[in-house]
Structure 1
């Protein structure tokens, strides 16, 4: 399996030993905070979130993925989830709220449900991993990172994801966070 990290942040410079801190937002809870002299709006947040969902779709389409299984690791405490839905109502439709409450470990998700679960994961409302057989893998982690695993390298998908304005880099070390790989050991 090949693994890529997708993010809105530029990559570490090859000659640099450390990554300088970039003052940018990393979570839905940053809506309203000031970045580069401007408040982060829900519209801006959703615009970037939509790029991540589109990036996921691009790779899934090339891989002909039509459904995914969820490994649900954790749901945010209900009180905090409700707080998010009230504080950021433009980000939480009835559909996504109902999906949050119905979601269970080992569910087999349609493409539309993969959209919803990805949005919940990017918003840090849930922690989960998704897979399609042994061919495709998704993991959304903290600070707005998304990891894609694929049984093949698809240069066309990578190129299209970069055209969205996102960064995508192949992991250059073993990827140890795939819960399905680890469960086989």
Structure 2
């Protein structure tokens, strides 16, 4: 399985051990107002969500499923009905990705043996696919995000 890490962090700002050196960089939704303004945050969030769909499109997937959901159902049930292992619509993928990036919930999205999306700390996202997806990678990099071959730390 091909696996990569998607982030907003420019690799030129990493030290020789791979640690990010820019301490002024925002790393989560909770940095709102302190380190980031709304328009920059929402623009970046949309790039991450778009990245998921670039892979789905490149792979020609018909379905993605919710798995390993963590969060208070009361926090989101007014937004959308949710249950683990459910097939997700395009709109549900967008909403769940948004809620995960905003640290309201945590989950994985998957299509067994073919595709996964994992969300990590510090605004990292991991995507895996059964084949290489150069078109998706190119679109993501063109958007200003960075793609690095990387094994997800959230694999089972």
TM bracket (short chain): 0.7 to 0.9
CA contact (8 A) 2:5 2:147 kept: yes
1:43 match: 39
Question: Partners in 2 of 1:54 and 1:113 — Cα distance?
Answer: 13
CA contact (8 A) 1:12 1:19 kept: no
Please state how far the C-alpha of 1:33 moved relative to its aligned partner: 0.6
1:160 aligned to 122, 131, 139, which one?
139
Please state how far the C-alpha of 1:77 moved relative to its aligned partner: 8.5
CA contact (8 A) 2:67 2:107 kept: yes
The count of aligned residue pairs is 155
Q: Which aligned segments of 4 or more residues in structure 1 are displaced greater than 3 angstroms?
A: 12-15
Structure with bigger gyration radius: 1
SS in 2 for 1:26: coil
Q: Does residue 71 of structure 2 align to residue 75 of structure 1?
A: yes
Q: Unpaired runs of 5+ in structure 2? A: none
TM-score, structure 1 length as denominator?
0.75
CA spacing shift, 1:13–1:24, aligned 2, 3 Å: closer
Question: Partners in 1 of 2:115 and 2:79 — Cα distance?
Answer: 26
1:149 match: 128
Q: Does residue 126 of structure 2 align to residue 130 of structure 1?
A: no
CA RMSD across the alignment: 2.3
Q: Unpaired runs of 5+ in structure 1? A: 35-39, 83-95
TM-score, structure 2 length as denominator?
0.87
Please state how far the C-alpha of 1:69 moved relative to its aligned partner: 0.9
CA spacing shift, 1:166–1:14, aligned 2, 3 Å: closer
CA spacing shift, 1:16–1:118, aligned 2, 3 Å: same
**Residue pairs, 1:77-96, within 5 angstroms:** none
Question: Partners in 2 of 1:50 and 1:65 — Cα distance?
Answer: 20
SS in 2 for 1:98: coil
